[in-house]
Amino acid sequence: MRIIRKTSERAGELLKTGHSGETIILMLVGIPNVGKSALANALHQVGRISALEKGKSKHATVSPQPGETKNISSLKIASHLNIYVLDTPGILPPEIFGDELCSKLALIGAIRDCIVGKNDLAHYFLAVLNLSQEYKKWLKFSAMENVRSSIYQEEELSESSHMDKRQYATDHTQDFIVNDVRRTLFEAVSTFSGDLENDKYLEQLIEVESRMLRNAFRITQSGADGHTKFAIKLLDLCRTGRLGHYVLDDIPRIS
């Protein structure tokens, strides 16, 4: 892996300039739930393979929930020059100012959903999606609606007549639901005539989408329970990448 090679080269340069010892320690530092433990594990595994080391390897605990890493752990990633990486718990500033910043951190899993609220967080994601161009990729799901409906009906018949294949039918049904969500979002955004740069119109579109998506998710509950279930399902699709990939901060262009 390139990062190990570059680190080894830099370590060799430090030793040539008079730094004592042959052990280099790196530290991974960042906000929670951005992949520090996953990176540490990958570096450790690649380092062991390149060094032809055998035996049981260590690993850092990886979790989709923030705050899983509670202690600093050390993983060896190179042996020619001994290089270790320290996987550290995520850090945040003592205070987080602004609702939008909290929503961004919660959406990527850096802080827990309850700090913002699942319903508000789902609405925030819809705002991000509506202001992006991601939904345009789902035109094909709208154009293929008649074909999808026919296949879905055949799938229901197959599920009822072949019980031993129930798992496969369930998986296919889940795919249809995801595609229904994509189709619903495409049709809602593409047919909306209001100015989405205006908060009032953006909120109107989000309310329309919320009602339509409850049908797409096959949610029968009404009221607060139904809306919370919709929010949980929508956030799950968002975080697993099935509703596209988004940059939440403005990235300055380098001229």
Per residue in 206-225, pLDDT tens?
999 999 999 999 999 888 89
Distance CA 41, CA 116 (A): 31
Distance CA 249, CA 95 (A): 19
Structure-token match 């300055």, residue found = 252
Return the amino acid letter for 81. Answer: L
DSSP 198: S
Residue 19: which pLDDT band, with cuts at 50, 70 and 90?
A: low
Percent of the chain with pLDDT over 70: 72
Structure-token match 């001229």, residue found = 255
Cα angle 61, 63, 68; round to 5: 70
Distance CA 69, CA 60 (A): 8
Half-sphere exposure of 95 toward its Cβ, with a 13 Å CA cutoff?
2
Lowest mean pLDDT among 42-56, 185-199, 226-240: 42-56
Q: Which residues 6+ apart lie within 8 Å of 62 measured at CB?
A: 37, 38, 41, 68
Mean pLDDT value of segment 7-36: 75
Residues shown for the chain = 255
pLDDT of 49 strictly over 90: no
Provide the edge-to-edge strand list for the sheet that holds 82-87. Answer: 23-28, 82-87, 73-78
28 near 88, Cβ under 8 Å?
A: yes
The domain spans of the chain are 1-87, 99-153+165-240
Question: For all residues of the chain together, what is the average pLDDT?
Answer: 80
**Secondary structure (DSSP) of 66-102:** TT---S-EEEEEETTTEEEEEE------S----HHHH
pLDDT of 53 strictly over 70: no
Highest mean pLDDT among 19-33, 40-54, 235-249: 235-249
**What pLDDT shows up at residue 169?**
42
Distance CA 138, CA 185 (A): 8
Residue 118 backbone phi and psi in degrees, to 5? -60, -40
Residue 52: which pLDDT band, with cuts at 50, 70 and 90?
A: low
Distance CA 182, CA 173 (A): 14
Distance CA 240, CA 234 (A): 10
Residue 97 backbone phi and psi in degrees, to 5? -100, 135
Three-state secondary structure call for residue 122: helix
Per residue in 133-171, pLDDT tens?
999 999 988 865 554 555 455 555 455 444 444 444 444
Per residue in 55-103, pLDDT tens?
555 655 555 555 566 677 788 877 767 788 888 888 888 888 889 999 9
